[in-house]
Amino acid sequence: MGPKTEVIAAGPETGPSIRWRWPSPSQFLTHFCLIIALLIFIFPFYWMVASSLKPLADIYVVPVQFWPTRPTFNNYLEIAGLIQSDEIDFRGGISLSRTFLNSTFIAVVNTVGNVFLASLAGYAFAKLRFKGRNALFLSMLATMMIPNSVGLVPNYLIMAWLKWINTWYPLIIPGLATPFAVFWMRQYMTTVPDEMIEAARIDGCGPFATYWRVVAPVVLPGMAALAIFSFMGHWNAFMGPLIYLNKPELYTLPLFLAVLDSGVSGRPVPLHLIFTASFVSILPILLIFLFAQRYFIAGLTAGSIK
């Protein structure tokens, strides 16, 4: 919204001169509307953070307090299990610390396995020649058209037959190489010049050495973008843990939030703890996106250039 500057070249004696130009009314209106939209989108996040620092009574006070008048960090200590909490004890005694570690382990294992295995499969579909390659790839893509809700009951029966209920295996094993991840990496592998692969083979590299030393560094932006997508998907997953997990010590963070948001035996919903847990739950995603933003943007754009 600041004034524009225009540099006008001048002679060596006088030096450059600067002429100030204010934005036009249309530019001013555009920036004003963008700022209003930004405030609208940021306000829910601000309200969540501010409410996480309030006692429960201050959340319901009228008139509304837009800034904590009695800020406290007891909500974070209570939800982490560091101080006594009647609400946490009444809901099974499981704390945010345990569910946070559970979600972190499941998301990290799925992300690492998905990126590695999907990139291997994408390399095979894109650069290796074998019989039935196209038919196998199309068959895999066809599974993406099946809604996830259709497979809930069959998948549960399979996991029950394998005796994997109340374990993390149903949340990890099926997600180690998803069709979308394989398709994503295959599209990136097609951008790698065949001449690079042929040169690696002439130098004596086998298929895996060619993938690891030549192809993987080239498609690193796509792998980084896939890692962000995979981590976000498994971090926020709710339906799978809800179906397969019944033990509180195995709960993930979305299940913990659902338990907090339930009025058990008529007890009021602890909004101060819900706001606190919600802020903690989105913090890893926010930090990953901020620090990996360069790779994320590069991963979204690099695959379109061949």
pLDDT at 287 (0 to 100): 86
pTM metric for this prediction: 0.80
Q: What is the mean pLDDT of the chain?
A: 83
Q: Would you identify the CATH topology of the domain 96-302?
A: MetI-like fold (1.10.3720)
> CATH 1.10.3720.10 occupies which residues in the chain?
96-302
Asked if 237 and 171 touch (Cβ cutoff 8 Å), the reply is yes
What is the end-to-end Cα distance of the chain in Å, rounded?
Answer: 38
pLDDT at 7 (0 to 100): 46
pLDDT band at 213 (very low <50, low <70, confident <90, very high): confident
pLDDT band at 264 (very low <50, low <70, confident <90, very high): low
* Weakest-pLDDT range from 93-97, 167-171, 204-208, 273-277: 93-97
pLDDT at 306 (0 to 100): 47
* Weakest-pLDDT range from 124-133, 218-227, 243-252, 285-294: 285-294
Bridge partners of 17, per DSSP, are: 8
Mean pLDDT computed over 93-100: 83
pLDDT at 109 (0 to 100): 94
CA distance 115 to 222: 10
Cβ atoms within 10 Å of 233's Cβ, excluding its own: 17
Strands in the chain per DSSP E: 4-8, 17-21
pLDDT at 1 (0 to 100): 46
Torsion region of 6: left, alpha or beta (phi above 0 gives left; psi -120 to 50 gives alpha): beta
